[in-house]
Structure 1
Amino acid sequence: MKLSRPVSWFLVAFGVWSWIVWTTFVKNLWKDTSGLAFHHGDHSAPTAYFWIHLTLAIVSFLLGTAIGVLGLRGLRALRAEAANAAVTATEKQSARVDADA
């Protein structure tokens, strides 16, 4: 399967966006003083809300990373394909020059 350049860049951007959003979320979750994440603000007593949202964040980090890596691999494959096409074109040009001589 071949990814286009725009799709590859979208996947990379999604991966980066995912890390930005969920890192901010986890920081805010850790700072929570409302009693949702920790009983009475005590960090040694996390609630179910904390564990569920931390699990969501971890899964999102993993998926964002996997999606971003797919985008990077797509971009690398496109770059390699362009380099191979340039080498092939140079070889054809060189063969024509040799045939004309």
Structure 2
Amino acid sequence: MPLSEILKTIEKSPTWETLAKLPAQLEALERRVAALEAAFATPSSANAVACPACGAAMKFVGERPDPTFGRLGFKEHQFQCECGYRTTRQWSQQKGYR
């Protein structure tokens, strides 16, 4: 059997058709992961905080170790609104915001 016939037979195989699609699927998944990582790069974009005073989205302005649980990895995230209202939220890498 000539090599060209073998290659045609292989290309018609369902397994080969699936394998041929993998590079495009991998590229699409890599783009989706990159977009998700960019969206969640900062705490404010991942978990926008609504201002209790005016309802607008508050801006993430900083973080520091939590005064009580900082040794356990907890952080205190500070948010500020355009209206001047400020607040903090406790955050941990394992559980996110509390």
- TM-score, normalisation: structure 2: 0.38
Pick the structure with more strand per residue.
2
- TM-score, normalisation: structure 1: 0.37
Pick the structure with more helix per residue.
1
Relative contact order: is structure 1 or structure 2 higher (C-alpha 8 Å, sep ≥ 6)?
Answer: 1
